[in-house]
Structure formats: structure tokens, C-alpha cells
Structure 1
């Protein structure tokens, strides 16, 4: 695989382009060329148009999450990408982390017994800048969306309901921007498994990602120490939107009847 074009408004990307042997281009120039695929790592507001362009041209695509902050557009883009038949991969990198993969495979194989409870904890080292909060869609759509995805991925089934509580306890600027920085959510699955997640924008340990999977035969752990032990983008963001609705209404959002934001 060869990187043919690099699109970035920053002048300091010339060195990266030279190292990759890529041309500095704009998006229109890139999409007019004969390519196998594109990687979308731009700001959230640009994702939808680039995904639609890739679908129209039949290009494989890797895209950062979320698709967009406007839910009707997310649904429309998802339908267009699926109808095009292109290969589309969203940036849920934990699915390919060796530890998460090992836990998922052990659960799916039945070796651990039936998964009964899943507890996930994600803590960032420090709150992000306020301008990033406004662009990214906030904590649930940007940070916690990985845990929403992992809940579905590890359980191997859909989430039936979401009840979320959250507050801004760490950074007043993020609160003034309409975001939260501390979250707890409970999500039963369709078969009755219990998924719980806690998220924070601050951790004295640095980036802190942990998981406990309580199964009938054993308990599987992932901690923060190094060790070796686009439908999905749509559904993960639907859970994020449901958690936002739960926070706003102070009640559980039932997803079993096809709830939409």
C-alpha cells in the first residue's frame, strides 16, 4: 500500500508528505484521482461529505468517529455507504487491541462460560480544550462512544436500554460549553446481560482503560498495564445519543422498539 496524497491545511505537513512520498493535495484533487481508498482523519464536521464522496466513487474508507453530530445525517450517510457496498471501517481501535480481542474471542468461544456482567472504565489524563469539545460532539460522542461500541462487541448482541447519569465536576470550561466530564451508564442487553461503564476526563494515572467481564466460569480482566494477556459506527453513536437523551430526561431510554434520536 502506498500513500499517494496528503490533505492537510497545516504548512508543517510538508515534511510528512515528503517522508511518505505523497503529494500535497486538496480533497477535490484526491477524489478526482484513481485511488483504492481514503483515510478520513479530519474534523468531525467534514466526515459525512467525505464518506458520501467515497461511497459515490466506490472507494474503501477508514473514518474517524463519530460520523457527524447531526443524527438524521448520520442515518442518511449510513444508508448510502451500505447501499454502495464499499468497505468502510470506523475508528473503533479497541476491537483490534490484542487484549480486547482475546477477551472477546474467549467469551464468543464459550470457554469462559456465559457472559453475565461487563464493567468498563475509561479515564482520560486531562480534559480536552473547550474548542475541541465543541467540534467533537462532547464526551459521549467522542470518548465514551468506544465503550458503547465495546459493549455490543463483547456481548455479541444489541443493547436494550440505556440509563446514564453525568455531571461536570472537573473543568468549568467544558461545562460552559454544554458538556459533561464525569459519566456513569447502565445498559442491559436484549438477553439480560448487564453492562456498566464509568468515564472521566481526568485520571491521576494517565490514560486509564480497564475492563472486567464476569462470566459463568471465570472473570476476565483488562487493566492499564502493558500486557499480552459502519453499521457499528451507527449503533455506537445511537447509544451515545440515547445516553445524551437519558441525561437530559433523567430516565432510562428503551431501545427495543427501534428508538431514534
Structure 2
């Protein structure tokens, strides 16, 4: 599906968020040990349902019956290496959207090679920061990497860049305090998976996910005294983010239908 010039707006974000809360999709998360509890609580606060098993004997059933799958490489131990292929195969066979988050591939050649192997059968969405994208696609423009790779790319940073087959979006919500708490980025990948399960256009789904999560982050940072109090404030902000917050705070920078 190709984003139109009017396809993303505060009204669209409000509508997609409302659909998510009505449907309460379940996201199966294969994520790192540090992020598991926080990711589950973020999904619950948003209105989605987490499942988290990495047991090889049951992960395929969980992935196939979920509404979306997140594969996060932040803890790439042997147990997760066994679970990931089974979950991916089951999710693909069931036609479920898949988010791949190649955490720290820029720090580990072994992990980068594994992520590159997973990209040979493209996920619906690749969520990564600039350093991770540059490690996976050295010398290649992000939009071209997404087009040739057959996936949508959400590259996060001070501005978030979303690249689809024929469109790019730039968004600018968020707060620096989010980077001072572990697992906020990992939980954001699960939020993207939740929105992908109810919005068929992955560019729009990613844009709404980033906007909702980052606007909640702004609200939480305004209330928090520091990183320690940010976590409960973020969960409360995700639970309460509404039409007023989205319409007053959304920072939409650019849409390019050429995709470059």
C-alpha cells in the first residue's frame, strides 16, 4: 500500500490508536532479557496484549496465533537462536506481520551476519537506529535499502525516518530522557508490531506507533523528575494518550512520495 499525501495526519493517528484499543491485538515478543518486563508493560498500557515465551517447543504456536511478531536481537543467546527461526516460519505461514529489531549489530560482526541472514526473507518492518542501518547496508541510502530489501524501514533518531516502497515520512517527536532508560527502544519495536497488526499500510502503522510512543515520552518527561520516575510516568502516559495529545503535539516533518 502506498502512502498518499493525506494518508498520515493527527486524525489518522487518532483513528488507528482507537482501532488498536478496540481490538487489543496480541504481540508475541522474542526480545532481550533486559527488555522483557518493560516491553510487556508498555504493550499492556497501550491496550495490546503481550506474550513472551522463547521455549523452542511452544514458540511456533504462540507466534502463529498472535496478531504480530517482534524479533529483537538484543540478547542473542542459544535459546533465542533456536526460537527465532521457528517463530518466523510460523508467523509467515499464518500471514502475520513481523518486526525485526537488529539491536547492536554495529557492535558485533556475528550478530550483523545473523541479522543479514534473517533479512534474506524480509520482515514487514525493520526497526533500527542509524548506526545499525549503516552496519547492515554500508554505503547505501536508507530508502534504497528498504526498496531493494523488500521491507519498510523505521530508522529512529532525533528525527525518525520511515521508508516504504514508494514513500518516506519524517517525524520529530520524542524526548532525550527516553534514551536514559534501558529498553525504551526495544519496547518501541513491540509497539510498532502492535500497530502493524491493525493497520495494513506499514508506513502509516510505523508513523502512528512512533508518534504515539514518542508523544507519550514527551508527556512522561514533563512529569518525571529523572530516569527513575520516567518509567511509571511513561506507562501512565501511554495508557492516557488521547486525541488532544496527538493533535496538539504531533510533529510531522515531511512526506516524499518518491521514496528517496
Same fold? TM cut 0.5 = no
Query: Under a length normalisation based on structure 1, what TM-score does the superposition of the two structures give?
Result: 0.29
User: Normalized per residue, which structure has more helix?
Assistant: 2
Of structures 1 and 2, the one scoring higher in RCO (CA 8 A, sep 6+) is: 2
Query: Under a length normalisation based on structure 2, what TM-score does the superposition of the two structures give?
Result: 0.29
